[in-house]
Amino acid sequence: MGQPFSRHTAGIRRWATAAVGALALSAGLLAVGPQASAAGLTQVTGFGSNPGNLSMYTYAPEGLPSGAPLVVALHGCTQSAGDYYANSGWPTFADRYDFALVLPQTSSANNANSCFNWFEPGDSTRGQGEALSVKQMVDAAVARYGSDSRRVYITGLSAGGGMTANMLAAYPDVFAGGSVDSGLPASCATSVSSAYTCMYSPPNRTPAQWGALVRSAAPSGTTAWPRVAIWQGTADTTVKPANATELRDQWTDVWGIGQTPTRTETLGGGTTLTSYDDAGGRTAVQVYSIPGMPHGLAVDPGSGPEQCGTTGTYYLDTICSSYHTARFWGLDGGGDTPAPGTLPAPAGLAVTGVTGSSASLSWTAVPGAASYDVLRTGTKVGSSTTTGHTDTGLTAGTAYAYTVAAVDASGTRGAVSAAVTATTTGTGHTVTCHTSSNYDHVAAGRAYQSGGYTYATGSGAAMGLWNTFTTHTLKQTSPGYYVLADSGCTA
């Protein structure tokens, strides 16, 4: 902590951290997994005053250029930096996309089961305890590797996910993006008892109430916020799936974009991805819902371009979360840079034609542009030296959001244009019917909840209270669009 404790207060804190560690362990909140060697990691000492008593480990690919991004990865309870390094898949993409990794490590001296103290205000508040130690690690790594301070990101699993959410709220001026894996909303808990409540039955606050907790944790006057990915298994009985919904409500409210998805997609492992775009068409919040996955981090061992990680206790073979998160942040070279260059956004972006598998675009030339980047749902999908582009390999009957940005001769991307939507021809979709409780509809992405009430994804049809006792039939009429069909549903 940043301030000294009396013996009485210190004793309370030791009890509190031990109790939460016991809760986490008994609930399965990351029981001991394989403690892999920290080979490839470098321990860095003397990185700051370190009020949170954490250890700093780093990894950087050979020949890492100056100005590369930086990713901070927080392990779960009873895990270590080496364990997370060996299993999570993040080193694979550090090598592929050229960025440095920082892996903070806590210990039983801080918490009986080596959990980050996400529930302790004195450890998760800006300028205090473990939160400040992690910030000092970022500063040390930026200096050590010459990292781009505009492209610093943070991710964490379980207790590390809870700390990630708090770090994003406390330091939005430090982190351009974050990923909360099987974690909790920012400021969900401020004590041992409320930590337990958040894990199993998070408070059903309104989006505005959740957003206010972030705004109050951030520096006064903050207007720029990190982009947030949320990963959650639908069969998680340790950190209940409702936490993902509350996280979604929290960060969409912070961005001021509402809780209705811009689009819904299906990824590997049956994962449902719902995306929420800002006013400029850039994705600000993503929710990845993995059907049937219990508590843990999603990995997908193998040598394929979208595979990563190693299975083990709470490293679950479903889909490579690190790959999709890295692409969402733009670490693969796509996406928007946090600080665009001086070229203005192209005007006049328009859809000039569609087929069942392609969409053609045109826009007005920007003086000084050497080329143009074309982005689909915030990810770069093409480059053009003219004022037109055709995107191919699309799915029939599907809506896609496009933006475009001018690139100068030095390779610096300018401001991103307003978005346009292109819908490919054909149906591309099989009508399906789903009868389930409102809670399960939300968990599956067919509906969303706001203020304790449930609404159908796409149509926004009111479905009543968000619980397991209210049952409805939903009919999916197009990708990501559901309507009430209680009177009968024919697929």
Give the active site residues: 158
- Reduced to 3 states (helix: H, G, I; strand: E, B; else coil), residue 141 is helix
Q: Residue 225: how many CB atoms within 10 A of its CB?
A: 23
How does DSSP classify residue 418? P
Closest by Cα among 282, 231, 226 to 254: 226
Distance CA 198, CA 77 (A): 16
Task: Give CA–CA dist 424/411, Å, rounded.
Answer: 31
- Phi, then psi, of 360 in degrees rounded to 5: -105, 140
Question: Are 388 and 397 within 8 A, CB to CB?
Answer: no
Structure tokens belonging to residue 216: 């109050």
Q: How far apart are CA 284 and CA 478, in angstroms?
A: 23
Residue 291 structure tokens: 């059907």
Alpha-carbon distance values, 111 to 17, 23, 198, 377 (Å): 5, 12, 18, 41
Place of tokens 């693969």: 332
Q: Would strands 227-233 and 177-181 be described as parallel, antiparallel, or unpaired? A: parallel
487, containing H or E segment:
none
Contact predicate 255/200, CB 8 Å: no
The 8 Å CB, 24+ separation contacts for 140-146 are: 140/44, 140/47, 140/48, 140/56, 141/44, 141/58, 141/70, 141/100, 141/102, 142/70, 144/44, 144/58, 145/58, 145/60, 145/64, 145/66, 145/68, 145/70, 145/100, 146/66, 146/67, 146/68
Contact between residue 104 and residue 56 where contact means Cβ atoms under 8 Å apart:
yes
- The DSSP secondary-structure symbol of 312 reads B
